[in-house]
Amino acid sequence: MNLHAAFLPGRRADADDYWLGLGVVALLDAIRLSVFPAGTGWLVWLFVLVLLFVVHANRLRDASRPRALALAPIGAGVLAKTLGATVGITAAIWPVYLEFLDRRGIDLADAEAVERAARDQALMEDFQAWMLDQETMMIDALAAGGWPSMIAFWGVVFALGFWFAGMTARGPRPA
């Protein structure tokens, strides 16, 4: 296994180099998420995406496939990351939302009353304004989306990795 083949642009990465590269980039992403607080570390995440593109492009180069295909797992991963973050943040905010409704006198045992409250524009604006005033709660909610989004991102990237690793060279290999 050769890390140069995985990370240096213009190299060819066989399946083993490719998996090694994905593992190293995933580890860097986990370190990024552990070190930087929620909502920060965007520049480091962009660096992770660049490394991920290089790993995929080098694998595609070895398989004589167009390098633009390297954008597919990144795009799919970003979509999964967005969904994972949404689920994590929603799970963190839901109990706070129910507490807010309870303080406003809405019977939480009455499903219709909760549904009416969810459709009440003024109540939702009050909830949003109240949430924005609770800075530590907002930071905690953002942090709750970090790990689910990372797991979703890497789950999709690794799932597509089986396809990339299984690619064989077809035709002459370009330089």
Q: Are 91 and 97 in contact (CB under 8 A)?
A: no
Q: Are 141 and 37 in contact (CB under 8 A)?
A: no
Residue with tokens 């909830």: 127
Residue with tokens 């995929």: 56
The CA distances from residue 40 to 11, 36, 84, 137, 143, in Å, are 32, 6, 17, 16, 10
* Model pLDDT, residue 13: 87
Nearest Cα to 60, choosing from 113, 52, 130, 95? 52
What average pLDDT does the segment 130-159 reach? 91
Identify whether 148 is part of a domain: yes
Domain count, the chain: 1
Identify whether 173 is part of a domain: no
Identify whether 9 is part of a domain: yes
Identify whether 175 is part of a domain: no
For residue range 13-47, list pLDDT tens digits in order: 889 999 999 999 999 999 998 888 766 778 889 99
Identify whether 172 is part of a domain: no
Identify whether 91 is part of a domain: yes
Type of residue at 33:
L
Identify whether 171 is part of a domain: no
For residue range 71-123, list pLDDT tens digits in order: 999 999 999 999 999 999 999 999 999 999 999 999 999 999 999 998 999 99
pTM of the model: 0.83
Q: How far from the centroid of its chain's Cα atoms is residue 153's Cα?
A: 4
Rounded CA-CA distance 17/12 in Å is: 9
Identify whether 22 is part of a domain: yes
> Domain containing 23: what range?
3-166
Residue with tokens 């002459």: 172
